[in-house]
A and B are shown apart, each in its own frame.
Chain A
Amino acid sequence: MKSSVITFPGSNCDRDMDVALKKFGFKNKMIWHNDNELPKSDLVVLPGGFSYGDYLRCGSMASKSKIMQSVINFAKSGGLVMGICNGFQILVETGLVPGALLRNRYLEFICKNVFVKLNNKDNSYFKNLDKNIFEFHIAHNEGNYFCTKDQLKEIEDNDQIAIFYCNDNGQINDKFNPNGSIKNIAGIFNKEKNVLGMMPHPERMIDQSLSGEDGSLFFKNLINNIK
Chain B
Amino acid sequence: MKISAIITLKKDVLDPQGKVIHQALDGMGFNNVSEVRQGKYFEIEVKENDPKKAKEVVESMCSKLLANLVIENYKIIETQ
Contact = CB atoms under 8 A, between A and B. Distances in A.
A146 interface: yes
Contact of A103 (B12, B17, B70): B17
Interface residues of B, number: 11
A106 B16 contact: yes
A203 interface: no
Nearest to A93: B68
A57 B16 contact: no
A180 B14 contact: yes
A147 B69 CA distance: 11
Nearest to A107: B16
Contacts of B16: 102-107
If over half of A's interface residues share one DSSP class (helix, strand or loop), that class is named, otherwise mixed; here it is loop
A86 to B, nearest CB: 15
Interface in B47-66: 65-66
A224 interface: no
Interface of A: 56-57, 60, 64, 92-93, 98-100, 102-107, 144, 146-148, 151, 180
Sort A-B residue pairs by CB-CB distance and give the 9 closest, nearest first.
Answer: A100-B70, A100-B71, A107-B16, A103-B16, A100-B68, A105-B16, A57-B68, A146-B71, A146-B13
